[in-house]
Amino acid sequence: MAKKKALGRGLSALLENAENISRPKPLEEGSIGNVAGSIAMLKISQIEANPFQPRNNFKKSPLEELSKSITEYGIIQPVTVRMIASARYQLISGERRFRASQLAGLTEIPAYIRKADDQTMLEMALVENIQREDLDAIEVAISYQRLIEECKLTQESLSNKIGKNRSTVTNYLRLLKLPAEIQIGIIEKEISMGHARALVSLTDGDFQLELFNRAIKEGLSVRQVEQLAKGKKSNSSQNNRPTLSFELQKKSDKLKSVFGSDTSLKLKDSGQGKIEIPFKSEAQLKEILVLLNL
């Protein structure tokens, strides 16, 4: 599978002074980052880990999974570094991405470059530019995450600064938990924010990707993806019954429209199943019988 470019057109627009960079550019030897948040391709050999990193233990398996994802799709969210000497940088955030990139054999990595004393400038630029209408959902989520990690904000204080509900902030941040392939799908507008919110509610990673690919291939609406995701979660809690196919899901929706929202179509692995049509009174039962021509 060809490797996609994870860094899209709008990523450079996250900061006011990014000078319309459409993709990370390599720095010349000895060059110094000009502004807070400028994006460049840095040699991994130029970057050193943060000695004050509170997290020292990184589980091997998730790190290997991230490394494979980076090998296939590239790095969606650049690391953040600060200049400590000529052509020398120190990590501020992105330790896992940095280590996984080393594991993947990369020689350079995209990075936001910050000066040591530019936190206020960074915060102001990020808050201002989050309001831009041309940012995709992943770029907004990355901006929120940077404000929380680098400017030491809580979700509550962040929501106050940008004038958004905390639930809105939380929903965007959750997108960064999606697999890289789905994040790229959001960036490239293959699916909408509504699709993504339905997908992120799933805990089964394989089904997440399966439903993502189906949504693109079959042109599923947000509502259809929500129903399939809800069906998966319901089935997982009820003896792990399989998710209904798209055609059966349409039949199930038709039954609900005729007999009421409590009507259900259930299917087992063996192919056996049942249709349940609950009723609350004898009069309602008679109406159901009429509809069934009984």
Question: Is residue 115 in a domain?
Answer: yes
* 257 & 151 share domain: no
* 16 & 29 share domain: yes
More confident call, 5 vs 159? 159
Residue 145 pLDDT > 60: yes
Which amino acid, 9? R
Radius of gyration of the chain from its Cα atoms, rounded to whole angstroms: 24
Question: Is residue 23 in a domain?
Answer: yes
Last residue of a domain, one of 240, 260, 277: 240
Residues 122-137, mean pLDDT to the nearest whole number? 72
Residues 6-15, mean pLDDT to the nearest whole number? 38
* 18 & 163 share domain: yes
Question: Is residue 185 in a domain?
Answer: no
pLDDT (0 to 100) of residue 127: 74
More confident call, 280 vs 145? 145
pLDDT tens digits for range 52-80: 554 555 677 888 889 999 999 888 889 88
pLDDT tens digits for range 201-219: 898 888 999 999 999 999 9
Give the pair of three-digit tokens for residue 61. 């398996």
Residue 27 pLDDT > 50: yes
Pairing of the two strands 38-43 and 273-276: unpaired
Last residue of a domain, one of 177, 207, 231: 177
Which is catalytic among the residues 16, 65, 72, 95? 95
Answer yes or no: 139 catalytic. Answer: no
Residue 120 pLDDT > 70: no
d(CA 30, CA 69): 31
Residue 166 pLDDT > 80: yes
Residue 42 pLDDT > 80: yes
Give the pair of three-digit tokens for residue 44. 């991994």
Question: Is residue 182 in a domain?
Answer: no
* 287 & 260 share domain: yes
* 71 & 112 share domain: yes
pLDDT tens digits for range 171-183: 999 999 999 999 9
d(CA 253, CA 263): 9
Average of per-residue pLDDT values in the chain: 78
Question: Is residue 1 in a domain?
Answer: no
* 18 & 83 share domain: yes
pLDDT tens digits for range 242-275: 567 767 777 888 888 787 767 888 777 667 788 8
The fraction of the chain above a pLDDT of 70, given in percent, is 73
Total number of domains in the chain: 3
Question: Is residue 2 in a domain?
Answer: no
pTM of model > 0.75? no
* 293 & 157 share domain: no
* 79 & 159 share domain: yes
Residue 154 pLDDT > 60: yes
Q: How confident is the model at residue 121 (pLDDT cuts 50, 70, 90)?
A: low
Residue 19 pLDDT > 50: no
Structural domain of residue 210, as residue ranges? 191-240
* 103 & 203 share domain: no
* 255 & 270 share domain: yes
Last residue of a domain, one of 216, 240, 264: 240
Q: How confident is the model at residue 3 (pLDDT cuts 50, 70, 90)?
A: very low
CB 34 within 8 A of CB 16: no
* 87 & 47 share domain: yes
Question: Is residue 183 in a domain?
Answer: no
pLDDT (0 to 100) of residue 283: 80
* 196 & 257 share domain: no
CATH of the domain at 103: 3.90.1530.10
CB 86 within 8 A of CB 30: yes
